[in-house]
Amino acid sequence: MDLARQAQDGDESAFAEIVRRYSPRVFSVASRFFRQRTLVEEAAQEVFLKAYTQLGSFEGRGSLEGWLTRIATNTCLNMVRSAKRRPEFTVSDLSDDEQNWLEQQSAGDGGEPASVENSLVATDLADRLLSVLSPEDQQALLMIDGEQASIKEVAEATGWSESKVKVRAFRARKKVREAMDKLLSYKNKRASSTAD
């Protein structure tokens, strides 16, 4: 709160300290929405510029980190909404790497991907699946199923009610599961046609 108050009083070095201390948190939020470093940095910079102009509205009831997280979430949601539409989800462009990853995971126990390459394939697959969701639903699902955040934590980070978070997560989980189901059916069909 001291830092926030000093920054509110126009102390530029206090605000610089806020940027230094909380930029990892803001980058972590922006990384949920974007994978390119330039976009993440652009979003993070926008967050801190907004935070500076809105410092007067920070009353110190919650933590400064929570306040910045909410600004970061809303800023990124706005950026994603105003960006061009992403390509629609299709199963037919499943790459060989993705197919192999799905084969390995189906055969195994669904544990952590063993290598960096496998992690990248899994991340690409996640982005394909997430493209069936609205940015808000993506956010809810990534936080709850990806980061194991609680409903309450998501509600605090987004400003939504807990029931809204639950509804979003339920809807998103169902859509993503159905999209994955389609991918698996396509993979099985492709594997059997290759075997023939």
Partner 1 sequence: MKMKDKHIIEILDNASIAALSESELNEIRAHVLECMSCRDAYEAARLSAAVLKSRARVAIEPSPFFQTRVMAALREQQAVESVPAIWRLWRSSKALVSSMAVTTAALAVVSFMLPSQATPVAEQPSVYSAYSVIMDRDADEPMSYEQVLSTIYEDEDDAR
State the residues that interact with partner 1 by CB under 8 A: 12, 15-16, 19-20, 23-24, 27-28, 30-32, 35, 37, 40-41, 44-45, 48-49, 52, 102, 105-106, 110-113, 119, 122-123, 125-127, 129-130, 141-148, 170, 173-174, 176-178, 180-181, 184
Question: What's the rounded Cα separation, in Å, for the pair 93 and 72?
Answer: 33
Q: Which residue has the tokens 């192999």?
A: 100
Closer of 12 and 65 to partner 1 (Cβ): 12
Residues 6+ apart with CB under 8 A from 156: 62, 66, 69, 70
Question: What's the rounded Cα separation, in Å, for the pair 76 and 44?
Answer: 9
CB of 166 to partner 1, least distance (A): 9
CB of 29 to partner 1, least distance (A): 10
Closer of 119 and 161 to partner 1 (Cβ): 119
CB of 61 to partner 1, least distance (A): 25
Neighbours of 161 (CB within 10 A): 11
Closer of 160 and 176 to partner 1 (Cβ): 176
CB of 139 to partner 1, least distance (A): 11
Cβ atoms 44, 32 nearer than 8 A: no
Closer of 61 and 95 to partner 1 (Cβ): 95
Q: Return the DSSP state at 36.
A: S
Question: What's the rounded Cα separation, in Å, for the pair 117 and 168?
Answer: 31
Residues 6+ apart with CB under 8 A from 12: none
Closer of 4 and 61 to partner 1 (Cβ): 4
Question: What's the rounded Cα separation, in Å, for the pair 176 and 133?
Answer: 8
CB of 162 to partner 1, least distance (A): 14
